A = this chain, B = another copy of it.
Amino acid sequence: MTRTRLSIYDTTLRDGQQTQGVSFSTAEKQRIAAMLDQLGVDYIEGGWPGANPTDSAFFDAAPQTRAKMTAFGMTKRAGRSAANDDVLAAVMNAGTQTVCLVGKAHDFHVERALGITLEENTQNIAQSIAHLVAEGREALLDAEHFFDGYKANPAYALEVCHAAYKAGARWIVLCDTNGGTLPTEIGRITSEVIAAGIPGDHLGIHTHNDTENAIAGSLAAIDAGARQVQGTLNGLGERCGNANLTTLIPTLLLKEPYASTYEIGVTSDALKGLSRISRKLDDILNRVPMRQAAYVGASAFAHKAGLHASAILKDPSTYEHIDPALVGNARIIPMSNQAGQSNLRQRLQEAGIEVAPGDPALALILDQIKEREAIGYTYDSAQASFELLARRALGTLPDFFEVKRYKVTVERRKNKYDRMVSLSEAVVVVKVDGEKKLSVSESMDELGCDRGPVNALAKALAKDLGRYQSLIEDMRLVDFKVRITQGGTEAVTRVIIDSEDDQGHRWSTVGVSANIVDASFDALLDAIKWKLLQGA
């Protein structure tokens, strides 16, 4: 049986950027684009070239992707031609194969926000789309406020769609811009648009989660015949977020009737990386992953041995709607399991550590990870700390040196010019080869700027490690992420430090404590020990 192709359009880098508190750097956009491409979406909307320096810089060096890299912009303004609109020109100049332009489909917004006539608006849309097509680009119309517009003035909302379609738009995207349209209504209206002559395989759906119905609304539009669906990773987006592709993709691939009716660009193999991608995005944005997230959340397959205890023990899968491994997630039940051990062996192997199946160290390592994760550690991205933990349990971690104590002072006071200045000072005492070494450093950098207590501590710790000193001279701290998590009943601080050396290594370590300086110190310590392992 032939399945119908559905197109997945990701807008994490554009609409996802509207999330309160989120603003991507160009480098972050590049990393996210690579993740999306690996996942297998059809379109990556990279941003709005010309609207801000970050988006422009991203398109200046847009990554090569299998997915169609798409520039977003707005239709030309009234009173000038599409070729002479400088805002549109900046979008065209990004040189992407695909361009998506937003145009208003709600009469009220045209008249109130744009202050132009309905006819002018339709012409702006038609001429802009025609311009894209004439320039050889694939064109999308993002029909803003489509559903509210259709409810208010169906004839005009349809007119906008027809204008874009006739002008050659590959896709007309029906947007529920304020997120207020319920799924049943989205389904009905999408059917009516198709009945009015826009083919379903030219229709996209773009929903928001303001009533927690973004997924259901997207599915309703697909049921009605729309063949492109838009969303963002982890449901990023303005207000309550966009349709969550991290939920939509597994639903389309794994749940009926979608699995056997439709085909998407994401393979079952790529789907196994979904949980990892979701957590990596949160890492990049320094957000706390949602435990309860569908499919990929840490709790999504966690069974609390309350009511269902005996049934879960007999067969956990009867309480799961899918096998968690299909999305790269894992079952959590309040007892250790075999699956854990073979996963662990594989990860150790990847770090070059061979352990025989059934080795009792495996259970020990799993227990320690579980224990530490319960108090706030994470070994998802802190691969170097994971390796150190495993080697410690296996008895293959050399002692290197011992930290006897440290002390940091942070002070803010007025200087002799009556200006407030801050300065930190750290003393670290280590024992190397039986010899005690005291080092002191302050937080001032070469420019006379105070870099804070962690900087002072890092410098003091790396100042004199005796015979190991030469091994760490080429390492440097390149990123420092801090997050407050719930460890047991109290909030604790988790610090993740990324380090680098001249040999091209880049490694992450983690430290956890209610005390942010302590947590940082432990992550620094792991970073140095991992580096010493490479030289040892």
Interface positions of A (Cβ within 8 A of B) = 17-21, 25, 48, 51, 102, 108-109, 112-113, 145, 177-184, 209-216, 219, 223, 235, 238-241, 244, 247, 251, 255, 286-288, 290-295, 297-304, 306-307, 310-311, 314-315, 318-322, 332, 334, 378, 380-381, 404-414, 422, 424, 443, 445, 449-455, 479-484, 486, 489-491, 493, 513-518, 521
Give the chain B neighbours of A315 by CB distance below 8 A: 112-113
CB distance from A496 to the nearest CB of B (A): 8
Residue among A302, A304, A322 with the most chain B CB within 10 A?
A304
- Closest-by-CB residue of B relative to A113 is B311
Give the chain B neighbours of A255 by CB distance below 8 A: 180, 182, 211
Contact of A215 among B216, B219, B443 (CB under 8 A): B216
Give the chain B neighbours of A306 by CB distance below 8 A: 17-18, 51
Task: Tell me whether A239 and B515 are in contact (CB under 8 A).
Answer: no
A415–B484 alpha-carbon span in the complex (Å): 27
Task: Tell me whether A294 and B211 are in contact (CB under 8 A).
Answer: yes
CB distance from A95 to the nearest CB of B (A): 22
Task: Tell me whether A405 and B410 are in contact (CB under 8 A).
Answer: no
Give the chain B neighbours of A292 by CB distance below 8 A: 19, 209, 235, 239-241
Q: Can you sample 14 A-B contacts with CB below 8 Å? A: A102-B307, A109-B311, A113-B314, A211-B247, A235-B292, A238-B303, A240-B299, A286-B484, A406-B411, A409-B410, A445-B490, A482-B482, A482-B493, A516-B516
Contact of A216 among B216, B318, B378, B408 (CB under 8 A): B216
Task: Tell me whether A481 and B484 are in contact (CB under 8 A).
Answer: yes
Task: Tell me whether B321 and A178 are in contact (CB under 8 A).
Answer: yes
Given A20-B334, A406-B411, decide whether A514 and B450 contact each other with a Cβ distance below 8 A: yes
Give the chain B neighbours of A486 by CB distance below 8 A: 21, 25, 286-287
Given A21-B486, A307-B18, A493-B452, decide whether A288 and B288 contact each other with a Cβ distance below 8 A: yes
Task: Tell me whether A516 and B406 are in contact (CB under 8 A).
Answer: no
Give the chain B neighbours of A18 by CB distance below 8 A: 304, 306-307
Give the chain B neighbours of A443 by CB distance below 8 A: 515
Task: Tell me whether A219 and B320 are in contact (CB under 8 A).
Answer: no
Task: Tell me whether A414 and B405 are in contact (CB under 8 A).
Answer: yes
CB distance from A224 to the nearest CB of B (A): 12
A219–B291 alpha-carbon span in the complex (Å): 25
CB distance from A405 to the nearest CB of B (A): 4
- Closest-by-CB residue of B relative to A413 is B405
Task: Tell me whether B318 and A108 are in contact (CB under 8 A).
Answer: yes
Contact of A211 among B307, B321, B409, B513 (CB under 8 A): B321
Task: Tell me whether B182 and A310 are in contact (CB under 8 A).
Answer: no
Task: Tell me whether B235 and A318 are in contact (CB under 8 A).
Answer: no
- Closest-by-CB residue of B relative to A14 is B307
A240–B381 alpha-carbon span in the complex (Å): 15
Give the chain B neighbours of A290 by CB distance below 8 A: 290
Give the chain B neighbours of A301 by CB distance below 8 A: 239
A73–B293 alpha-carbon span in the complex (Å): 29
CB distance from A419 to the nearest CB of B (A): 12
- Closest-by-CB residue of B relative to A374 is B21
Give the chain B neighbours of A182 by CB distance below 8 A: 219, 251, 255
Contact of A482 among B380, B483, B517 (CB under 8 A): B483
Give the chain B neighbours of A183 by CB distance below 8 A: 183, 216, 219
> 5 nearest interchain CB pairs?
A180-B321, A216-B216, A452-B515, A482-B482, A113-B311
- Closest-by-CB residue of B relative to A484 is B480
Additional 4 contacts, C-beta under 8 A, given A17-B306, A450-B514, A452-B493: A112-B314, A145-B318, A240-B299, A405-B411
CB distance from A225 to the nearest CB of B (A): 15
A482–B299 alpha-carbon span in the complex (Å): 22
Given A18-B304, A182-B255, decide whether A404 and B414 contact each other with a Cβ distance below 8 A: yes
Given A251-B211, A314-B112, decide whether A322 and B180 contact each other with a Cβ distance below 8 A: yes
Task: Tell me whether A479 and B490 are in contact (CB under 8 A).
Answer: no
- Closest-by-CB residue of B relative to A299 is B20
A489–B177 alpha-carbon span in the complex (Å): 29
Contact of A490 among B239, B422, B449 (CB under 8 A): B449
- Closest-by-CB residue of B relative to A414 is B405
